[in-house]
A and B are shown apart, each in its own frame.
Chain A
Amino acid sequence: MIRAALTNRALVIGLALSLIFVGAALISFIWVPQDVGAMDIPNKMKPPSAAHPLGTDHFGRDILSMIMVGARTSIAVAVVAVVIGMGLGVPLGLAAAARRGSLLDEVIMRGNDLVFAFPSLLIAIMITAVFGPSALNAIIAIGIFNIPVFARLTRGAALSLWTRDYVLAARVAGKGAVRISAEHILPNVTNLLIVQGTIQFSLGILAEAALSYVGLGAQPPIPSWGRMLADSQTMISLAPHMAIFPGMAILLTVLGLNLMGDGLRDLFDPRIRRDRR
């Protein structure tokens, strides 16, 4: 398994990229090149140099440091949103599959359809309109949108597992739906969930960036990649580096996670070659 993993190029590159950004976020807790709270107006909007490898922003803050600290926000929001989506979506999907065709199944599936009609941006708009903007909004909005994603995936996979003879054998052994879901269904959908988890993680990072960019996500002074891009917009002709580096950070993180997801899927199931939507 590990040897197979190392020969999978997408997986290795994806894992490396993802680890760089997760590592940057973790390192930022103990060390950053320059304090992101400290402004240095005389040195504002400086292009990359030895002192500031990625240049400085409109307050003279070090962009590399900002990106490292901003990675925390992105990763935290996306991870929590995936946890919310899995935590609620997977049990719902398992329950719907275990009671296929029942009222419960119907309610869960129609509920899912309904949530799908609300892109996370709309949920964030509604929450912000009522409670004001915050990073928490982004987490809730993206998390809610993740629920039907995981519920559908789990239900679909679980339905096909429920028709397997080994589930019938477990029923003959007197096991109930909850026990069968835990022992036989869930372990056989985990691979799928891990793959989908990395994909939703990457989509969450994109969504968080977009929400912060329009001011519905993380608020200043919390550094976030989307916020940095919003700040850079009016100065893009004067200081293009302010826009380019945070954008590259988003692009490379998302690319890394997607490659990792593709690689994991090939690793788990080399026969099935599906491409992500």
Chain B
Amino acid sequence: MTLLQIEGLNLAIHDYPILHDVSFTVAPGQIVGVIGESGSGKSMTALAVMRLLPDGARATGRVILDGQDVVHLSEPELCGMRGRVMGMVFQEPMTALNPIQSIGDQVAETILVHERVSRAEAMERARVALARVELPEDRFPLTRYPHELSGGQRQRVVIAMAIALRPKLLIADEPTTALDVTTQAQILILLKRLVQEDGMGLLMISHDLAVVADMADHLVIMRHGRVVEAGPSPALFHRMQHPYSKALLAASTHQPDRAAQPQDTPLLQVQGVIRDYATARRGIWGKPGTFRAVDDVSFQIRRGESLGLVGESGCGKSTLTRAILGLEEVQGGTIQLDGQPVFTGHKPNRAVRRRMQVVFQDPYGSFNPRHRVDRLVSEPFHLLDTPPQGTARDAAIAEALESVGLTPEDRHKYIHEFSGGQRQRIAIARALIIKPDLIILDEAVSALDVSIRAQILDLLADLGDRLGLTYLFISHDLSVVKQVTDRVLVMQAGKIVEQGVTADVFAAPSHPYTRQLLAATPRLPEFENT
């Protein structure tokens, strides 16, 4: 018996085709994972089932849910089904809730919209729904507002709203992408439990093969609006047929070849670093408090080494990055590059700063849209006392662009002419142009699709070997860190709680927090690499 049957679904937005002949089914109690990179149409498939499509979208084909063809239902009929027969959870919990309505009211609304019950009864049932998503009333009163909750807690409220009427189908569109890995694990467990308890079908959309592999009974792999392969999990992993599926799987577990061996001389030495922030004063005459973002952190990076720094959001890793780069002064401890302090006499030391560069996460926000590539890439020349001029400058720009796999002619283009992966190459070219010793990669591959990510990781490994670069690789993604670093630091609440050789830390973590992180990290099933 099937609960949801999608058959030959086509979708176009303003006559621009998005989905082509998509077909798959979801049975009651079954978890179906839909995987794809950006532009694969996976989210549009989910929205098509809910019929919450953007203006100008036109769907054809059949989407049979609980015996009704959703494609041909009228808007009032759809409103009767949404929230009652099908519920949906979205990616961004921070903005998914009405900021000025209490969580109790928002959950109760699902019930009040569909059933003629008193407000008191709806609130009572909202209380039950919130308790089911592990937000018990004694700790999370119904009168709480969204801004008083964390991202994970907000996502639980969204789930409570979606399951309050025990729908037959729950759709979760990247429900944990915006969350930390430990929170992600908890939300995934919660979703699994709800599926078991209610026997509902779960359609789970994700870009992350590992997240879905853990959860789903059945996998659907999409690309460019088409289903390329589908089958039961985990069996599908062992006998993938389509080249794209195979490539996706290979990219997800890609291990770049790194030949260079780290030397014994330390390059960056961080000793007892403390970074305090002033917090808002309490009351009008109150004293401003302090928040210790980085608490007595010490470590060193050897020349030629690739060091990983992992931790969840808010652990202080970004603050530490800014301190190393000399953007902010520290309140205690020293940071030295090759024996030279980053800060001297309350001023950043230019001689040190020109020896390190950084690559940021967001390939779209990292470049001034009004400058051409040559100007973007040559910006770090500002750190040199005598920046190269004329042909020397042109040659340096060309060399930097070529070293990241672009052509010298790209210098005349603007940044919007490049794809996300190409932009990240330009960001690396910008970091390379003054030939630094240390490059800090601040979540540099986190925003990229897995296949692009594999290419960038290869490029970084290759550059590291050729130019003898040292990397500080900062990431929340443990699986990437495992693939590309020699040693790893684990940071929690401003402190380094564990450090060691990457393979050792991953094999035998000693600190409970590291163990917790590793346990929470979704893993692909073991399979024979063919």
Contacts and interface: CB of A to CB of B under 8 A. Distances in A.
Direct contact of A and B (CB under 8 A): yes
Which A-B residue pairs are the 8 nearest by beta carbons?
A165-B360, A165-B366, A174-B383, A173-B380, A165-B365, A173-B379, A173-B382, A166-B368
26 contacts: A164-B365, A165-B360, A165-B361, A165-B362, A165-B366, A166-B367, A168-B358, A168-B360, A169-B360, A169-B366, A171-B327, A172-B353, A172-B357, A172-B358, A173-B380, A173-B383, A174-B348, A174-B353, A174-B380, A174-B382, A174-B383, A175-B379, A183-B368, A187-B368, A188-B368, A188-B369
A165 B327 CA distance: 13
A200 B358 CA distance: 42
Contact of A169 (B354, B361, B379, B381): B379
Nearest to B361: A165
A173 B436 CA distance: 12
A188 B370 contact: yes
Nearest to A174: B383
Most buried by A among B353, B357, B360, B368: B368
Contact of A184 (B327, B357, B368): B368
B13 to A, nearest CB: 15
A72 to B, nearest CB: 36
Given A165-B366, A188-B370, A170 B379 contact: yes
Nearest to B363: A165
A183 B383 CA distance: 16
A168 B322 CA distance: 9
A171 B362 CA distance: 17
A187 B382 contact: no
Contacts of B357: 172
How large, as a class, is the contact surface on chain B?
Answer: 20 to 34
A134 to B, nearest CB: 42
A169 B353 CA distance: 12
Interface string B401-424: 000000000000000000000000
Interface in B274-293: none
B325 interface: yes
B350 A174 contact: yes
Nearest to A188: B370
B430 interface: yes
A171 B354 CA distance: 12
Interface in B375-408: 379-383
Interface of A: 164-166, 168-175, 183-184, 187-188
Contact of B370 (A165, A168, A187): A187
Nearest to B434: A173
Interface in B322-337: 325, 327
Nearest to B381: A173
Nearest to A184: B368
Most buried by B among A166, A174, A175: A166
Contacts of A175: 379, 382
Contacts of A184: 368
Given A174-B353, A188-B368, A188-B370, A169 B358 contact: yes
A170 B382 CA distance: 9
Contacts of A188: 368-370
A170 B380 CA distance: 8
Contacts of B382: 173-175
Contacts of A174: 348, 350, 353-354, 380, 382-383
Nearest to B440: A172
A169 B430 contact: yes
Contacts of A173: 379-383
A172 B361 CA distance: 15
A194 to B, nearest CB: 14
Contacts of B361: 165
B380 A172 contact: yes
A183 B375 CA distance: 11
Contacts of A166: 365-368
Nearest to A164: B365
Contacts of B353: 172, 174
Interface in B29-82: none
Interface in B294-345: 325, 327
A25 to B, nearest CB: 33
Contacts of B369: 188
Contacts of A172: 325, 327, 353, 357-358, 380
A70 B367 CA distance: 47
A174 B380 CA distance: 8
Contacts of A183: 368
Most buried by B among A164, A174, A184, A187: A174
A187 B368 CA distance: 9
B417 to A, nearest CB: 15
A166 B367 CA distance: 5
Contacts of A164: 365-366
A187 B369 CA distance: 10
Contacts of B368: 166, 183-184, 187-188
A166 B368 CA distance: 6
Contacts of B354: 174
